[in-house]
């Protein structure tokens, strides 16, 4: 992709973004739409790069509970195998001691009762080996329950910004010029941020000394802070004489491999903590000559925020 040479020299270059400028090291976007960094680490011992605790905290809900269920099944299969190898004579109350499949099922369900400390009581260990393994499994069950309880609490109590961003950003007429706009809103009921601040940085692929490099520019915003966020907020960057986007056409933005990086911070009184949310827009997610439609309406008694209209736009007439 050819790099474009023209960039407004009055723009404020940001060299502290943490992203490199070498184009050969860039693969895809810098920031994923969900706010995660588009980055993979390799090299070094795996145990130093991977944090099981943080991985489990950041998994989606269905993956997290899937891991718990899978762990429960696998560990009980392992213990059931140990009990099976010890033999049915180490237990009392068995329904069958000759049918191998029936014996293994008995061992598996005995393992689940021991692991969860339920202990229904029909099957009991009587041999020293079975008693020793059962005691270790009980300890293992207590520790596992404590770990998963802590993880579940950590997931529910972790401060989060429940913000939804528009799928696209638009470039449309703004006052007597044009502006780059995107919007976001809190999607949870009874969840309002205060002292909300937004920062926008744009990355452009430009030519310097006949070499393509990425340059990052802080975008001046019409407003970068509001006191409360009960409704949606349409963030506007006026494309004026200080904007790095001044004079760019849609084709030129595509050639610069543009990416708009957005960071929103605010105070959440539910968690009594500062929360943040990131996202980004690349060139095919920045649309010219469209504008957002209003996403709220008023009744006699209240104002209704229509979240399904977050991405709705109309053509500029």
- Can you tell me the mean pLDDT for 161-187? 93
Residue 15 has pLDDT above 60, yes or no: yes
Phi then psi dihedrals of residue 228, to 5 deg: -140, 155
Closest C-alpha to 144, from 52, 81, 221, 214: 52
pLDDT tens, position by position, 112-138: 999 998 888 889 999 999 999 999 999
Which pLDDT belongs to residue 54? 87
- Can you tell me the mean pLDDT for 84-100? 90
Neighbours of 101 (CB within 10 A): 8
What distance in Å separates the CA atoms of residue 276 and residue 263, rounded to the nearest whole number?
A: 7
Residue 55 has pLDDT above 80, yes or no: yes
Mean pLDDT rounded to a whole number for the chain: 88
**DSSP β-bridge partners for residue 236:** 181
Domains of the chain, start order: 23-32+160-315 (2.60.40.1400), 52-157 (1.10.287.70)
What distance in Å separates the CA atoms of residue 109 and residue 163, rounded to the nearest whole number?
A: 44
pLDDT tens, position by position, 234-276: 999 999 988 988 888 888 888 888 899 999 999 998 888 999 9
Which pLDDT belongs to residue 138? 94
Q: Token digits for 219?
A: 């975008």
Residue 149 has pLDDT above 90, yes or no: yes
List Cα–Cα distances, 294 to 187, 239, 298, in angstroms: 16, 22, 11
Which pLDDT belongs to residue 27? 57
Which pLDDT belongs to residue 8? 64
Which pLDDT belongs to residue 186? 92
């Amino acid at each position: 992709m050819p790099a474009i040479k023209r960039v407004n020299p009055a723009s404020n270059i940001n060299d502290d973004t943490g992203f490199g400028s070498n184009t050969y090291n860039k693969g895809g976007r810098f920031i994923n739409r969900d706010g995660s960094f588009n980055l993979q680490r390799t090299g070094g011992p795996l145990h130093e790069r991977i944090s099981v605790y943080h991985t489990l905290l950041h998994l989606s809900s269905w993956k997290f509970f899937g891991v718990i269920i899978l762990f429960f099944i696998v560990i009980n299969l392992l213990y059931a195998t140990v009990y099976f190898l010890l033999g049915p004579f180490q237990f009392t109350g068995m329904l069958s001691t000759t049918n191998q499949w029936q014996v293994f099922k008995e061992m598996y369900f005995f393992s689940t009762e021991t692991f969860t400390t339920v202990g229904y009581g029909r099957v009991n260990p009587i041999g020293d080996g079975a008693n020793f393994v059962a005691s270790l499994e009980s300890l293992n069950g207590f520790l596992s329950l404590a770990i998963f309880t802590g993880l579940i609490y950590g997931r529910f109590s972790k401060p989060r910004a429940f913000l939804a961003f528009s799928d696209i950003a638009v470039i449309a007429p703004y006052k007597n010029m044009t502006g780059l706009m995107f919007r976001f809103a809190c999607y949870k009921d009874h969840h309002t941020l205060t002292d909300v601040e937004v920062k926008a940085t744009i990355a452009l692929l430009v030519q310097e000394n006949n070499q393509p490099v990425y340059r990052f520019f802080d975008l001046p915003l019409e407003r970068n802070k509001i006191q409360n966020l009960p409704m949606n907020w349409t963030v506007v960057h006026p494309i004026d004489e200080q904007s790095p986007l001044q004079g760019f056409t849609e084709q030129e933005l595509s050639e610069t491999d543009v990416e708009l990086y957005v960071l929103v911070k605010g105070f959440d009184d539910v968690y009594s903590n500062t929360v943040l949310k990131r996202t980004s827009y690349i060139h095919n997610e920045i649309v010219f000559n469209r504008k957002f439609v209003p996403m709220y309406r008023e009744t006699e008694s209240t104002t209704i925020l229509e979240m399904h209209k977050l991405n709705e736009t109309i053509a500029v007439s």
